[in-house]
Amino acid sequence: MKKILFPLLSLGVLAACNTTSSSGSTVELLNVSYDPTRELYTDVDDAFIAYWEEETGETIKINASHGGSGSQARSVLDGLDADVVTLALAYDIDVLQERELLDSDWQSQFDDNSSPYTSTINFLVRKGNPKDIQDWDDLIREDVEVVTPNPKTSGGARWNYLAAWGFAEEAYGSEEEAQAFVSDIYKNVVALDSGARGATTSFVERNIGDVLLAWENEAILAANELGEDEFDIVTPSISILTEPPVAIVDKVVDRKGTRDVAEAYLEFLYTDEGQRLIAEHHYRPRNEEILSEYSDSFPELELFTIDEKFGSWQEAQEKHFADGGIFDTIYQP
């Protein structure tokens, strides 16, 4: 009897220790985010921890997880305990909503479609722009090689595709012509990397292609830090307003009792301090005044949103990227 009792007892003691230590005073938040926000959230987290301590006297800890937007959403679906998700496109969060991890009105929970920062798609070209690429219609020229990731595997790449489509609809008017235009661009694509960072590496490190379709923040980062004086950024006449959304994972925060902190954390992104950090990390802040402070790095251009041109992410996904959708037909023989 003793033999059995002892292990059982020690298990019980262990379990008790475990619960007391985890319900201790430090609150932990987990922010599941996508790849190119790594540096941004390192700074935001530090600022928010200081802010929260000043406001409430509580010390908190913020854990971050980064990866491709789609795979991050999948981890949360499969049970990763994220308090907040800050992903690349609303579609990835809609999927979480479908599985009832968060409320259906998540996108109106915070200002500006729950996207505290935006960006756009522009072109990164080699220094001096040797192929003279100025706008979207240069991308279908026969002598131009394009690098962009695969919209099937990369959320970021879907924005690239939709930006080109939106331009073609504006420029040529009809949907058929938009489809022909976008297929012409993809005929010039030399490699479809599986993710956005991979495409940047192909273009920057391996000298593949003449132009990289990239998020503005990624393009600025590449031009400033990866190869100083090796690249130029070309801003097209019109492009898409990329709105990476943020959301609270209701199921998780209710269970963990972290809703207050999680809400304050996301709201912090909208404060002046948050918006400045955002601008410093090359995302466009929503706050007009702060945006104009940084107007040097964010040239003006005509921007359209997903909802204006495509209805919603759900519709765009269904029509363009689902199996058998328009993107698939581009590569059918």
Partner 1 sequence: MKRILPGFGLSLGFTMLYMSFIVFIPLAALIVFTVYNGWETFWNALHDPRVYAAFRLSFTASFIAALINGVFGVLIAWVMVRYTFPGKRIMDGMIDLPFALPTAVAGIALTSLYTESGWIGSLLAPLGIQVAFTPIGVTIALTFIGLPFVVRMVEPVLKTIDKETEEASALLGATPFQTFRTVIFPVLIPALLAGMTLAFARALGEYGSVVFIAGNMPMQTEIVPLLIMTKLEQFDYGGATAIAVVMLTLSFALLLSVNALQWLISRKLGQRRIT
State yes or no: residue 175 binds partner 1 (CB under 8 A): no
> Distance of alpha carbon 97 from its chain centroid, rounded?
17
**Residues 94-123 within binding reach of partner 1 (CB under 8 A):** 95
State yes or no: residue 191 binds partner 1 (CB under 8 A): yes
Residue 34's SS3 state is: strand
Q: In this structure, what are the phi and psi dihedrals at residue 245, rounded to the nearest 5 degrees? A: -90, 160
State yes or no: residue 139 binds partner 1 (CB under 8 A): no
Our CB check for partner 1 shows the closer of 121 and 199 to be 199
Cβ-Cβ contacts under 8 Å for 247 (sequence gap 6 or more): 84, 85, 86, 93, 96, 102, 106, 107, 109, 114, 266
**Residues 239-278 within binding reach of partner 1 (CB under 8 A):** none
Query: What are the contacts of 253-257 at 24+ separation with CB within 8 A?
Result: 253/83, 256/81, 256/83
Instruction: Report the alpha-carbon distance of residue 235 to residue 6 in Å, rounded.
Output: 71
Our CB check for partner 1 shows the closer of 58 and 230 to be 230
Looking at the DSSP bridge assignments, the partners of residue 31 are: 64, 84
Site string for partner 1, 154-173 (x = CB under 8 A): x-------------------
- Stretch touching partner 1 by CB under 8 A, among 135-143, 190-198, 272-280, 295-303: 190-198
Q: What's the alpha-carbon Rg for the chain, to the nearest Å?
A: 22
Nearest to 155 by CA among 119, 114, 204: 119
Q: From the list 208, 290, 301, 303, which residue makes contact with partner 1 (rule: CB under 8 A)?
A: 208
Residue 312 Cβ, how far from partner 1 at the closest point, in Å? 16
- Stretch touching partner 1 by CB under 8 A, among 134-142, 193-201, 239-247, 305-313: 193-201
State yes or no: residue 206 binds partner 1 (CB under 8 A): yes
Q: From the list 116, 156, 166, 198, which residue makes contact with partner 1 (rule: CB under 8 A)?
A: 198
- Stretch touching partner 1 by CB under 8 A, among 73-81, 161-169, 223-231, 272-280: 73-81
* Beta-carbon count within 10 A of 229 CB: 8
Instruction: Report the alpha-carbon distance of residue 329 to residue 188 in Å, rounded.
Output: 16
Residues that bind partner 1 (CB under 8 A): 68, 70-71, 73-74, 77, 95, 150, 152-154, 189-194, 198, 201-202, 205-208, 317, 321-324, 328, 331-333
